Amino acid sequence: MNVDTMRNIDHYAGVPLTFAGTLIKKTIHFFAPPKKIKPKNVLLIELSEMGSAIIVDPAMRKLKANIEGELFFVIFSKNKVSLQLLETVKEENIFTIDESSMVALASSAFAFLRWCRKNEIDSVIDLELFSRFTALLTATCGAVNTVGFHAFHNEGLYRGDFLTHKVAYNPHQHIAKNFISLVDALLSQKQELPFTKRIIPDSEIEIAKATICDEEKQAVLSIISDLYEGFEKDKNPVILVNSNASDLLPQRRWNRENYGDVIKKILEYNEDVIVLLTGAPSEKEGAELLCRYVDSKRCINFAGAVKFLQLPALYSVSAFMLTNDSGPAHFASITDMHTFVIFGPETPALYGSLGPTTPIYAGMACSPCVSASNHRKTPCSDNQCIQVITPDWVFNTLKFKLDELNS
């Protein structure tokens, strides 16, 4: 299903279902109030964003260190692989929901409810920003402790009232700290309204790094050698360019020719570097168009050349990456590779990579125009926030990394 179809289902089916579910829950709890229990087997729900599966890792590690039971996760099938990069959650503790069709979605949702009871889930943290579908999963999974973001007095997306621990979403601090707030609420010994009343230092959202062996690095270097004749690791620094963006927010896309112009400047500035155009196999055609525009044997279509789980090894042998605001910026954060990330309708203050990174952001009066309160859907059809960013601006921003290669 496409993104707009899922948004419409979430609205037109989600509003009445969450309203009816709230009435049923309030009635049941009036006659049989739920007992307070210490969290043991905790489920996290984050369905739609691969990057968020990386950003939430500091919160997951804190949670894992403070519970006696198991950590579980539910995510859309196509996004599961992102959880496997750091392996914080055991493979057998991950449940995937098939979003390919309405029938598949409903079927896997009912299977999820059985899975939760089989694994004795007692606590659930809904990481999604006001999704009604995940609110319903939270309400029906059988958990006693239910944690999530609550609107309170904000006029925004209605998602019922199913939470025992209501956390105030803070649109002025990084989403990783918001995730930590959810964990704090679950672990808290006292009830707060709203959660969480403490300062969360930057040290708590430091991202874990992937463990990459020499064999994995060598495998990636061999693939590069096959695509670029005469490649020498010590002579030819590798620079990655990810020009793709998901359909979730097409306003994030920077013009392909702009990427091409930056690549031309990079290749002219350093005669030894090679540029790899990364992406999924489905993005190979777009990468080929960019290759043709650059018209250099040192600009290589690398889309689909490595498997997803080989990305950390690719990042570990590369000098830096230029990318739009999308998953790869977050995948790269689990390595020491520097990233340059182009932002437009969103802001790096909330969604910046937790790794070594330099955001490129115009900060226009209308930016950011997407948020939790508008379901990340903007009316904008003229993304000037991206268009005003020029190839010269980007090249001059990343040039210091090129100078480091020359020194």
User: In sequence order, what are the residues at sequence separation of 6 or more whose Cβ sits closer than 8 angstroms to the Cβ of residue 85?
Assistant: 54, 210, 309, 311, 312, 331, 334
* Residue 71: per-residue pLDDT: 97
- Chain segment 314-346, per-residue pLDDT in tens: 999 999 999 999 899 999 999 999 999 999 988
Domains and CATH numbers, the chain: 3-204 (3.40.50.2000), 216-406 (3.40.50.2000)
* Residue 245: per-residue pLDDT: 66
Question: d(Cα 20, Cα 41) in Å, to the nearest integer?
Answer: 28
Q: Is 70 exceeded by the pLDDT of residue 247?
A: no
Residue carrying the six token digits 């692989």: 81
Backbone angles phi, psi at 172, to 5 degrees: -110, 5
Helices (H) and strands (E) in the chain, counts: 15, 12
* Residue 155: per-residue pLDDT: 66
User: In sequence order, what are the residues at sequence separation of 6 or more whose Cβ sits closer than 8 angstroms to the Cβ of residue 125?
Assistant: 42, 43, 44, 45, 63, 147, 148, 182, 183, 186
Q: Is 80 exceeded by the pLDDT of residue 91?
A: yes
The total of other beta-carbon atoms located within 10 Å of residue 144's CB is: 15
The residue with greater pLDDT, 374 or 351, is: 351
* Residue 32: per-residue pLDDT: 85
Residue 215's H or E segment, with its range, is helix 214-227
Mean of per-residue pLDDT scores for the chain: 92
Q: What is the mean pLDDT of residues 3-20?
A: 82
* Residue 60: per-residue pLDDT: 97
- Chain segment 103-157, per-residue pLDDT in tens: 999 999 999 999 999 999 999 999 998 789 999 999 999 999 999 998 888 766 7
User: In sequence order, what are the residues at sequence separation of 6 or more whose Cβ sits closer than 8 angstroms to the Cβ of residue 111?
Assistant: none
Alpha helices (H) in 56-127, listed in sequence order: 57-65, 102-118
> 18-22, 33-37, 220-224 — which is least confidently predicted?
33-37
Q: Is 80 exceeded by the pLDDT of residue 44?
A: yes
> 8-17, 126-135, 267-276 — which is least confidently predicted?
8-17
